[in-house]
Amino acid sequence: MTRGAASRYALPGAIALLLFLMITALGVGDMPLSPARIWAGLMRTDELAAAIVWQIRMPRLIVAVFVGGSLAASGLVMQAYFRNSLASPGLLGVSSGGTAGAVVAIGIGIAGTSLLVMPVCAIIGALIATSAVLILARSGASTERLLLAGIALNALLAAVTSFVLSQSILSYERNAQILFWLLGGLEDRSWEHVWMVLPTALAAILLWPLGRSMDLLSLGANEAQSLGVDVRRLRRIMIVLSTVLTALATAVSGTVGFVGLVVPHALRLMLGPEHRRLVPLALIGGGAFVLACDLIGRAAGGLRLGIVTSLIGGPFFLWLLRRKV
């Protein structure tokens, strides 16, 4: 299929795929539900089906879609910002920053005090990591510099996380919670988590109209400025939005790696680099990718989401590196 044809069918195709995966996610599990029973559950005419659909599968499904969309959009923004298709929240350490923030909140015992604590701590951690990346690797930095900055930052933040883990070794509950964040997963996600991740929708809406100026920025900051883009303002918005998207996703699901790398890159290969098209598709495609990975993990007997995305993303990243370097 040509790029033109692919782009014409991409959005409806992605929406159809997402809907199919959503229905599948509602249907499969320890107690499989037929489409008719899913409908009955949704309409609350079947009490048992309603409990399974509304209390267990629906919140997990919504969190999966929001986490995936957020991470993919965040990766897309970072790639435009750094003018490098290998930039992504996981590789640059922004996800680790969010995780470290969340883990510190658990470690010092404030995570349970309010619904806002975890996302706020994750955002602070991710913002610190983002600032460090901005200092270590400016826009237009080489792939090597970006990756080295990411390696250094990931190592540093892993040390912070390990320190907190070693300090809470005597508390089983805290340790289990921390481990959850480190492995990344969607088990036991409730409506509370849906509310936590919901603000990403606002960030996504704010991102939508920036597509064209992101096109210009991705070809050079001075060129974009000369053509009428307020580069300083745009960069500020992009960095805040991508950090918030990554941090909120991390706050509800832990470290889910490679989504921000795989999804934008695959979409760019299929549809070309224009961000007006890529932004909505990254949101929907990212959601579909994480939902599919979660379904694979569930089918494989409870494999954690972070493990599944890494099993797919790791080889993809190596392939990309081989092509690029």
Partner 1 sequence: MNALEAENVTVAGRLEEVNLSLPRGQLVGLVGPNGSGKSTLLQAIGGLLEHDGEVHWFGRDLNHIPVMERGRLTTWVPQETQFAFGFSVRSVISQGRYAHGDDDHGIDGIIARCDLVELADRPVNQLSGGERMRVLLARALATEAPLQLWDEPLGPLDVRHALEVLTMARQLADDGRTVVLSLHDLRIAHCLDSVAVLDNRRLRALGPPDDVLTPELLLEVFGVKARITPGLALEIP
Q: Report if residue 219 touches partner 1, rule: CB under 8 A.
A: yes
Q: Report if residue 213 touches partner 1, rule: CB under 8 A.
A: yes
User: How far apart, in whole angstroms, are the C-alpha atoms of residue 114 and residue 81?
Assistant: 34
Count residues binding partner 1 (CB under 8 A). 23
User: Encoding tokens for residue 306?
Assistant: 């972070």
CB of 230 to partner 1, least distance (A): 4
Q: Report if residue 225 touches partner 1, rule: CB under 8 A.
A: yes
Q: Which of 74, 85, 88, 95 binds partner 1 (CB under 8 A)?
A: 85
Per DSSP, helices labelled H in 28-171 are 35-42, 47-50, 58-82, 89-92, 94-107, 117-136, 143-167
Q: Which of 11, 15, 187, 274 binds partner 1 (CB under 8 A)?
A: 274
Q: Report if residue 182 touches partner 1, rule: CB under 8 A.
A: no
The smaller minimum CB distance to partner 1, of residues 19 and 227, is found at: 227
User: How far apart, in whole angstroms, are the C-alpha atoms of residue 248 and residue 194?
Assistant: 11
Calculate the alpha carbon distances from 130 to 56, 74, 127, 140, 308 in Å: 34, 12, 5, 16, 25
- Which residues have CB under 8 Å from 28's CB, separation 6+? 295, 298, 299
In a 3-state reduction of DSSP, which class is residue 99? helix
The smaller minimum CB distance to partner 1, of residues 301 and 322, is found at: 322
CB of 93 to partner 1, least distance (A): 21
- Which residues have CB under 8 Å from 41's CB, separation 6+? 26, 33, 49, 50, 51, 52, 53, 54
Q: Which of 228, 301, 302, 323 binds partner 1 (CB under 8 A)?
A: 228
Q: Which of 136, 273, 311, 320 binds partner 1 (CB under 8 A)?
A: 273
- Which residues have CB under 8 Å from 11's CB, separation 6+? 280, 281, 284
Q: Report if residue 227 touches partner 1, rule: CB under 8 A.
A: yes
Q: Report if residue 83 touches partner 1, rule: CB under 8 A.
A: yes
Q: Report if residue 145 touches partner 1, rule: CB under 8 A.
A: no
- Which residues have CB under 8 Å from 300's CB, separation 6+? 308
Could you tell me if 197 and 71 are in contact, meaning their C-beta atoms sit under 8 angstroms apart? no
CB of 173 to partner 1, least distance (A): 46
| Angle at which helices 143-167 and 117-136 cross, to 10° | 140
CB of 277 to partner 1, least distance (A): 11
The smaller minimum CB distance to partner 1, of residues 44 and 236, is found at: 236
Q: Which of 47, 226, 299, 300 binds partner 1 (CB under 8 A)?
A: 226
Q: Which of 24, 152, 175, 215 binds partner 1 (CB under 8 A)?
A: 215
Residues that bind partner 1 in the complex, under the rule CB under 8 A: 83-85, 212-213, 215-216, 218-220, 222-223, 225-231, 268, 272-274
